[in-house]
Amino acid sequence: MGLNDIAMKAFLVLCLLALFAAAPAPLRAGELVAIVEQSEGNTGDVQLFDMLEAGRVITLGAGGRLVLGYLRSCWRETITGGEVTVGTEHGTVKRGRVYRELVECDGGSLILADALSDKSGAMVYRAPPGGDSEAPPQVILFSLTPAFHITGAAAQVTVERLDAEAPPLALALEGGMADLAATAHRLAPGGRYRASADQARVTFAIDRLAEAEGGPLIGRIIFLNP
Amino acid sequence: MKITSWRAAGLLTLLAFGLALLGAAPGTAADAPGGLSEAPVLRVETGMHTAKIGRIAIHPGAGILASASYDKTLRLWSLKDGGLIRTLRVPIGDEREGALYGVAISPDGGMVATAGWTGESGDPNWSLYLFDIASGEMIHRINDLPHRGLHLAFSPDGSHLAVTLKNGHGFRVYRLRDFALAAARPVVHPGGLAAGDENDFDDPNCRATALPYLDADNPEGVAAPSSGWLEFDNQGRLVTVSLDGSIRLFDAEFNLLRARRAPGGEWPTSASFSPDGKYLAVGYAERQRVDVLSAEDLSLQFCPSMEGVDNGDMWRTAWSADGRFLYAGGEFERAGTHPVRRWDDGGRGRPQDVAAASAKGVTYLAPRAAGGVYFAGSEPALGAIDENHIKLFEWRSRAADFRDMGSDFRLSANGAQVYFKFASGGGATALFALETRALKLDPPAPGADFAPPLLKTPAMAVANWQGSYAPTLNGAALPLFPYERAESYAVAPDQSGILLGTRWRVIRYGANANEMWSFQAPGETWALNITTDGRLAAAAFGDGSIRWYRMADGAELLALFAHKDGARWVAWTPAGHYLASPGGDSLVGWHVNRGADRAADFFAVRRFREAFYRPDIVMQALAAEAREVPGGIGRLLPPVVAALTLSGGAEISAPRVTVELSVRAAPGDTLSAIQVRADGRPIAALEGDLADLAGGAPFELALTVPRHDSEISVTAEGSRGTVSEAARLSLRWVGGAAESRPDLYLLAAGVSHYAAEELRLNFAHKDARDFAAILLAQDGRAYGTVHLRILSDDEASGAALRDGLAWLRREARAGDFAALFLAGHGVDDASGAYFFLPHDGDPARLAETALAYGEIKEALTSLSARSLLFVDTCRAGGVWGRPGEPSNDVVRVVNDLSSPENGVIVFASSTHAQLSVENAAWRNGAFTEAMLEGLAGRADLFGDGEVTVSTLDAYISRRVRKLTAGRQTPAVGKPVEADFPLALVGADGAQ
């Protein structure tokens, strides 16, 4: 067996490992399944951008309004009053009201950081063989203004275009979040990008038909953990 | 009054009928004669009228055609695509109450008015209803009409609504600002009525009538003539005609300008202003004549050519929108159709006829903005003729036409099988068998065991009956209501008398021509038959239904409606228990009045399937020992999604849309949820405390819809577990096309080799593998990627099946397709619940070992992906202890899963009591064999390279019947109208 054959076999093994790594595993109880997209009034002890685990019970007080985005199922729930139990794909509400809508998101492909992945059951895909430019993007976003959720000490996230010449964007993080919607920057529909913060990086693409700026968080969020 | 024709009698009969019904004949329905029904009423519903359409109204700006019918509905149709927008229902009664004659649309397109038999005879309480077109809600009821309203028209400025009335009341005008009466103009001629210049011209088309204006027996003319027509011109002048022969012209303040006797004699029935306001075209009942008068002085100008019109009449007239052409139509018949005649040169030119109404006469004409006219017919029918005088379309009744069926209406000895024809003159025949729950098209001609109606015996001779007002039995006159017309009869086998069917009733007479009982018919009684034992009577009616009655007292026992498509049917008892084919459970429903001042609701019987889908009850309905099983839907009434509109119109280029809707909870119930689906798949839901939304207040929902053409449906759920009818919107995507194709996730399970020898089948395992293979070939074609999980024989354990369903739920996402294929044994338990028997299943322990329908339903209905079920489980018995009989009622599964609230597309191998056929020559079941052929390309019926849900349905429907010599009929349930490809077959070859 020549070197080329060995290299090819190694490549194939790596691809298989990568494919296995990318396959979403079944969720387990206690796993993080949703993110708090909006929080108004008395929402108990949850805050904006909190990650929630399945089974969590949240009691909303007077005037409480919560918007949760479910990362795998792409259901987005607006809960007004009452008590919500976070489910694996959507919540269950008592005494209040919930409006649940399916939004465009790459459910199941949203990558969670190492520290969270034990709870999420998803696995981090580090360095794709062949390089970022060649491999398929790890996640598709449906907005021109992604948001970035970073755990750890990174101070900024850098966004680089992979399929065209463009100056990289450096976004300062506040509380672990950076939202392009709060800036004047807009990414290109169909464009392929890489987001990196310290040692972690994720490749993503903007859906070719994406037009919206802002929009549901689960349709445009990237998770990184340097 | 001398009766010269059926039409003339018909124009005068309704009053007589009403008066007669007030003295209810013995055996009539328990409801009080006249009056609104307090209890829900079962009605046939095909999506098209089932009785005569009297009037239509057009609003080009709003793109709406409105039709009013004797079937008690007012329907709004889209001029753009012909789709039914909405059905408006007035309060109705069991008798004639609710039959609609007239309709008009307000100039702004926001309101529609209707009137007809909408009150009680003898009371000054006849009603006129006004509806909001956008919401379908009743805006107002005017309830002081002195008699039935016939014809309606809005003034050009939209400030007034005029209605003509029966019985000499002329017309009334109401002010729309406050619905107050603005003018009342009865048919009186204090100064006499000028005869005019009816024969001024030496014109062969102005044929002088031999009949005097005044009948010798009635020198005053028609004592209380009805006014059947009224029209405004652009200046607000108004013309009306009445059955005393008068034509009256009023100014914009409703002051009489002129009046004269119509040149053509009595019974002018229409008078249409030319667009320039200079002329009036007058049509007549029972006259082959149309007059064009001056709209200034009503003088006769000319008579359009009547060349070739040698029968009937041209009683309806209309001008083209530009005035170049004059149109007329009516009862004139040629070669079996009823033409619409057009004259060019404003009516002076040569005539040109086009066959319009196919079956019965033309009842109305309305100008078409693009040229030509729209027409309505008695059949009922709606159609259009374009500016080149070519018929564009004709929408016809979807009910069978039982006229002239005669001896082709046959009953088995016990009455449980009926042979009939769908249409006169060579239409398809059918055999319905209650015991096997089967409707068979074009069956072999029935033998001697099917008896035609007995028409003559030595002791019973009926004469002068067909179309007659004076039938006799053994020379004695059979008493009928005035103007009641006989259409059918049957002699009782024991010669104790006869049954007579008229346009209004079914009547049993004794041998002495004495009436024993009668009841009002749901339509014209076109055919009658009596079982040879004399116990049961069957009748075929003008509404397309066949009904069975007890000869002893005329009590209704069972009804059947078979759709003209020959596939769908429903049978029901008076209490509402029903048995239906796939899709048949939407063909009949409950009309629920909500009082005199609100639009009524309508719920198809499928809304109550849990309690009322009762094959066991229906199949016993004709038994001698049958007892009526009470029904009652009162506590089962579902909520109503009252309105659904899209902000910004139906063409979208972005997936975020906002819909506006309103919802009503059922009386005494609360709302628990509102569900929104796209192409049957859930995309949004509102749950929890919805009290503020349950009263019909409008609200908005923001949705993300698919980036392709789609159908949005909204249902509401009550706290009692009830589900509303779906409100639907069709969206047209004009944005960019998606780059990627959806994925397909297929779980295919087939079990031939069951552990128990007696359960073994031949090819179910192979069916699953072959079906998976044919769809795998679509990888990269119709689908981005095809993901398979195949479970064959011992692989298809209960645990593996459940794991497979979980796999579908886990993997298939919004925009993808998820499909489940099941081949093997299906079994109903004692309660009728369906189970699929896995390899390790035990028919004696279904709950513990088999895959329950509830599990299948939960998995498929919770998916965001478009869901399909292919089920071939009507295999030979053995599991049920009855060899040779199917072990499950798959129709229940099909109708439930494919309902709008569940949204699953279902292909089933057979229906009701049929077995699925396997054949060694194909090495597959017939259903799978046909599916394989179809998906490989034979179902590319349009040659466009696509095998869609609809084309596959059409292909396997015929193919399976052919493969099995008619023994097996597959069924498809589709929750949405939208169609999409299942396979792509192209120029590079089929799969």
> Which secondary-structure segment (H or E) carries B855?
helix B853-861
The span from the CA of B513 to the CA of B534, in Å, is 18
Residues 6 or more apart in contact with residue B846 via CB below 8 angstroms: B827, B829, B835, B837, B852
Confidence band, pLDDT 50/70/90 cuts, at residue A215: confident
**Predicted pLDDT of residue A30:** 60
B137-396 architecture in CATH?
A: 7 Propeller (2.130)
**Predicted pLDDT of residue B112:** 98
Q: Over range B13-26, report the average pLDDT.
A: 40
Poorest-pLDDT segment among B597-606, B744-753, B882-891, B972-981: B882-891
Query: CB of B145 within 8 A of CB of B184?
Result: no
Q: Which has the closest alpha carbon to B990: B937, B945, B940?
A: B937
Enumerate the β-bridge partners of residue B984.
B946
pLDDT per residue as tens digits for the range B616-637: 999 999 997 767 777 788 889 9
Q: If contacts are CB pairs under 8 Å, which of residues 14-73 in chain A contact chain B?
A: 26, 73
Q: Over range B495-500, report the average pLDDT.
A: 96
**Predicted pLDDT of residue B781:** 94
Q: Does A161 touch chain B (CB under 8 A)?
A: no
Q: Over range B797-820, report the average pLDDT.
A: 94
A102–B813 C-beta distance less than 8 A? no
Confidence band, pLDDT 50/70/90 cuts, at residue B913: low
- State yes or no: pLDDT of B59 exceeds 50: yes
Strand ranges (DSSP E) for B764-829? 786-792, 817-823, 825-828
Kindly list the structural domains of chain A, giving each domain's residue range(s) and its CATH number in brackets, ordered by start: 32-102 (no CATH), 114-224 (2.60.40)
For β-strands B462-463 and B472-473, DSSP reports them as: antiparallel
Instruction: For CA atoms B141, B142, B143, B146, give the dihedral sign.
Output: negative
Q: Over range B126-133, report the average pLDDT.
A: 96
Poorest-pLDDT segment among A118-122, A161-165, B688-692: A118-122
* Phi and psi at residue B300, to the nearest 5°: -70, 125
The span from the CA of B40 to the CA of B37, in Å, is 7
Fold of B744-927: Rossmann fold (3.40.50)
The span from the CA of B264 to the CA of B245, in Å, is 8
Taking the domains of chain B in order of start, what are their residue ranges?
Answer: 137-396, 406-578, 638-733, 744-927
The span from the CA of B700 to the CA of B658, in Å, is 7
Query: CB of B295 within 8 A of CB of B274?
Result: yes
What are A138's two structure tokens? 């790890």
Residue B736 with chain A: CB contacts under 8 Å: 208-209
Distance from CA of B242 to the nearest CA of A (A): 59
Q: Does B217 touch chain A (CB under 8 A)?
A: no
**Predicted pLDDT of residue B880:** 41
The span from the CA of B831 to the CA of B848, in Å, is 15
* Phi and psi at residue B211, to the nearest 5°: -85, 135
Residue A94 with chain B: CB contacts under 8 Å: 688
Instruction: Please state which of the four CATH numbers 3.30.200.20, 3.30.1490.20, 2.60.40.10, 2.60.40.1930 is assigned to the domain occupying B638-733.
Output: 2.60.40.10
Confidence band, pLDDT 50/70/90 cuts, at residue B201: low
Question: A175 vs B700, which has greater pLDDT?
Answer: B700
B704–A104 C-beta distance less than 8 A? yes
Distance from CA of B687 to the nearest CA of A (A): 5
**Predicted pLDDT of residue A5:** 55
**How many CA atoms lie less than 13 Å away from B947 in the CB half-sphere?**
28
Confidence band, pLDDT 50/70/90 cuts, at residue B807: very high
pLDDT per residue as tens digits for the range B510-549: 999 999 999 999 999 999 999 999 999 999 999 999 999 9
3-state secondary structure of A105: coil
Question: B509 vs B834, which has greater pLDDT?
Answer: B509
Instruction: Please state which of the four CATH numbers 3.40.50.620, 2.40.10.480, 1.10.1060.10, 3.10.20.30 is assigned to the domain occupying B406-578.
Output: 2.40.10.480
- State yes or no: pLDDT of A2 exceeds 70: no
Confidence band, pLDDT 50/70/90 cuts, at residue B8: very low
Residue A82 with chain B: CB contacts under 8 Å: 688-689
3-state secondary structure of B419: strand
Sheet containing strand A92-94, edge to edge, reads: A57-59, A83-85, A92-94
**Predicted pLDDT of residue B27:** 31
Q: Name the residue facing B689 among A97, A104, A208 (closest C-beta).
A: A97
Confidence band, pLDDT 50/70/90 cuts, at residue A108: low
Torsion of CA B197, B198, B200, B204, to 10 degrees: 170
Question: B648 vs B968, which has greater pLDDT?
Answer: B968
The span from the CA of B10 to the CA of B315, in Å, is 14
**Predicted pLDDT of residue B197:** 60
Neighbours of B167 (CB within 10 A): 19
Residue B116: burial class (beta carbons within 10 Å; 0-12, 13-18, 19+):
buried
Q: Name the residue facing A101 among B704, B735, B736 (closest C-beta).
A: B704
Residue A102 with chain B: CB contacts under 8 Å: 682-684, 704, 814, 864
Sheet containing strand B381-385, edge to edge, reads: B362-367, B373-377, B381-385, B391-396
The mean pLDDT value of chain A amounts to 80
Q: Does B682 touch chain A (CB under 8 A)?
A: yes
Alpha helices in chain A (DSSP H): 3-22, 114-120
Which DSSP string do the residues of B673-723 spell out, in sequence order?
EEEEEETTEEEEEEEE--GGGTB---EEEEEE--SS-EEEEEEEEETTS-B
- State yes or no: pLDDT of A8 exceeds 80: no
In chain B, what's the furthest Cα-to-Cα distance? 97
A102–B704 C-beta distance less than 8 A? yes
Question: B874 vs B470, which has greater pLDDT?
Answer: B470
Neighbours of A170 (CB within 10 A): 11
**Predicted pLDDT of residue B2:** 33
The mean pLDDT value of chain B amounts to 89
Residue A208 with chain B: CB contacts under 8 Å: 736, 739
Confidence band, pLDDT 50/70/90 cuts, at residue B889: confident
Q: Name the residue facing B813 among A98, A107, A209 (closest C-beta).
A: A107
pLDDT per residue as tens digits for the range B360-380: 899 999 999 999 999 999 989
**Predicted pLDDT of residue B204:** 75
Q: Which has the closest alpha carbon to B501: B488, B485, B490, B515?
A: B488
The span from the CA of B703 to the CA of B659, in Å, is 8
Q: Does A74 touch chain B (CB under 8 A)?
A: yes
**How many CA atoms lie less than 13 Å away from B390 in the CB half-sphere?**
2
pLDDT per residue as tens digits for the range B209-256: 554 444 444 444 456 788 889 999 999 999 999 988 899 999 999 999
A98–B686 C-beta distance less than 8 A? yes
Q: Name the residue facing A209 among B656, B704, B736 (closest C-beta).
A: B736
The span from the CA of B917 to the CA of B960, in Å, is 9
- State yes or no: pLDDT of B602 exceeds 70: yes
pLDDT per residue as tens digits for the range B270-306: 999 999 999 999 999 888 899 999 999 999 999 999 9
Q: Does B703 touch chain A (CB under 8 A)?
A: yes
The span from the CA of B242 to the CA of B249, in Å, is 12
- State yes or no: pLDDT of B922 exceeds 60: yes
A95–B688 C-beta distance less than 8 A? yes
Q: Nearest residue of B to residue A97 by CA position? A: B688
- State yes or no: pLDDT of B162 exceeds 50: yes
Residue-wise burial string across B243-261, b where 16 or more C-beta atoms lie within 10 A, e elsewhere: bbbbbbbbeeebeeebbbb
pLDDT per residue as tens digits for the range B414-433: 999 999 999 876 678 999 99
Tokens 């729209």 sit at which residue? Answer: B374
The span from the CA of A90 to the CA of A77, in Å, is 8
Residues 6 or more apart in contact with residue B938 via CB below 8 angstroms: B955, B959
- State yes or no: pLDDT of A125 exceeds 80: no
Confidence band, pLDDT 50/70/90 cuts, at residue B916: confident
3-state secondary structure of B214: coil
- State yes or no: pLDDT of B438 exceeds 80: yes
For β-strands A200-206 and A139-141, DSSP reports them as: parallel
**Predicted pLDDT of residue B95:** 80
